[in-house]
Structure formats: C-alpha cells, structure tokens
Amino acid sequence: MDIPRIFNIMESAHRIHNPFTPEKLATLGAVLRLAPGTHVLDLGSGSGEMLCTWARDHGVTGLGVDLSRLFSEQAKRRAEELGVADRVAFVHGNAAGYVASEKADVAACVGATWIGGGVAGTIALLAQSLKPGGIILIGEPYWLELPPTEDVARGCLAGSIADFHFLPGLLDSFRDLGYDVVEMVLADREGWDRYEAAKWLTMRRWLDENPRDELTGEIRAKLASEPVRYATCTRAYLGWGTFALMAR
C-alpha cells in the first residue's frame, strides 16, 4: 500500500510537499494562535513538517496519517531531529475514511483533498474527528486567472477548468458548506517555484544514480518537459492556499 512510486521519487527531497515555504508554514502556525497542548490531526501529512515544526514552536501534539511509506518514515525522523517525537506520531496508511479515536482541536488536510473525494467530502471527513468549536484546515488550489483552454487546465494538473474555483468562489464554497472562513494563508510564486523546481534537481540526481530503473525513461521525459509545463501552466494560472474554517 503506497502512493505511485514516481511521486516518492520526485518529492523524496521535499520537506513540504506543497507550494508553502517554511516561512508560510510558520505564518500559518502563528495566525492560528495555537495554545500549547492543542491537538492537531493531519490527513495526508507527507513528511510531517507542519506537525513537527508546530510541535517545536507552539507545543502542539499531533497525529499524521499518510499513504507514502517513505514520507511517513521521513516524518518520524524529522520528529526525532526536532526533539518532538514524544508529541507527534505518524501512521503509514490510507487516510480515506480515517476517523481518529482522539478528537482534535485542529483537523487538517493540506493539499490532499482527494482523500475525501474533494473539498466538501474532506471537510465532512475531518469534522468527524474534530472537537466542537475546533478548526478545520484545508489546503487547496484555485485559479489566479482563467486558463484559456482545457489543455492549459490539464497542464496545471487539473482534470478540467471546472475542477477549481477562483479565490472568491472557493471562499464562497466554504460558506455554502456552513463554515466561517476564519483565517487564510496564500502561497506565492516563490513557494510554487520551491515546490516544483526542487523536483527537477531531485529527478536529475535520481537519473544519474538510476540509469537502468524501470522508471528511468519516464523520469527522463518528465525532467525534459516539467520546467516548460510548469512555467506555461501552473505558474501562470494556479494559486494555492490554506484556509481555516469553523462551523457556524
């Protein structure tokens, strides 16, 4: 049970698997005014950077669930490195349908809303693990500008233009689901560059070390096409943010 191997390869050197820089992640932790002992559940926790740094900086406790064995192991190592292994735990597994036995003050899914079949389903899933009055965190893309064609939308790795809202529409959709939007931190192009361009060097190093792997051809083709695809599509049209929600 794991995510497709190509993602484990491309993002093996990432600490944050989304367009947030460490500074943005720290801003998000600060603006949520986390009190020590706040319990955070993170579905699709990746390499655990959010829970580990918030445990270090704000004294939160946390549970992360992620389908990537590699990222889950990296998260455990990061917790030890930051001296927070007694406060955060990482489980390797499928977070689809995951309801925590210990209810959380903050329940997050940051850049993995397919886990609940989309934003609405993921909010409903997280709500099952949330204490009354708790905060839901959703990390999600939105259009900065309308892609001129469906091809460009697919180049942004969307299924179609209809898959994402503009920012006002995304905020509206949270309201329609019965939630107040109580905070948001938005990624910028520097964050997108860090997330996407870091994959290129990782791919190049991997190719140098794995000239005869079954994925060598695919990674070679990806490295050749990704910089232009990213600059043409994602970088020009796609925004990304994390939104803090409280049920009305």
Binding-site ranges for ligand SAH (CB under 6 A):
3, 16-18, 44-46, 49, 65-68, 71, 94-96, 110-112, 115
Strands in the chain per DSSP E: 39-43, 61-66, 88-92, 104-110, 130-143, 179-186, 238-247
In the chain, DSSP finds a helix count (H) and a strand count (E) of 10, 7
Distance in angstroms (rounded) separating the CA atoms of residues 100 and 197: 35
Whichever of 90 and 206 has its CB closer to ligand SAH, that residue is 90
Q: How far is the CB of 45 from ligand SAH (least distance, A)?
A: 6
Q: How far is the CB of 104 from ligand SAH (least distance, A)?
A: 15
Q: How far is the CB of 139 from ligand SAH (least distance, A)?
A: 6
Closest CB to ligand SAH: residue number:
46
Distance in angstroms (rounded) separating the CA atoms of residues 124 and 119: 9
Whichever of 42 and 105 has its CB closer to ligand SAH, that residue is 42
Q: Look at phi and psi of residue 184 and say left if phi exceeds 0, alpha if psi is from -120 to 50, else beta.
A: beta
Whichever of 26 and 220 has its CB closer to ligand SAH, that residue is 26
Whichever of 3 and 220 has its CB closer to ligand SAH, that residue is 3
Q: Which two tokens stand for residue 242?
A: 């994390």
Residue in the block written with tokens 């490195």: 81
Q: How far is the CB of 34 from ligand SAH (least distance, A)?
A: 17
Rg, Å, the chain Cα set = 18
Q: How far is the CB of 206 from ligand SAH (least distance, A)?
A: 17
Q: Which two tokens stand for residue 246?
A: 């409280």
Whichever of 112 and 126 has its CB closer to ligand SAH, that residue is 112
Whichever of 91 and 167 has its CB closer to ligand SAH, that residue is 91
**Do residues 142 and 167 make contact, with C-beta atoms less than 8 angstroms apart?**
yes
Q: How far is the CB of 244 from ligand SAH (least distance, A)?
A: 15
Residues forming a β-bridge with 244 = 137, 183
Nearest by Cα to 58 from 86, 35, 81: 35
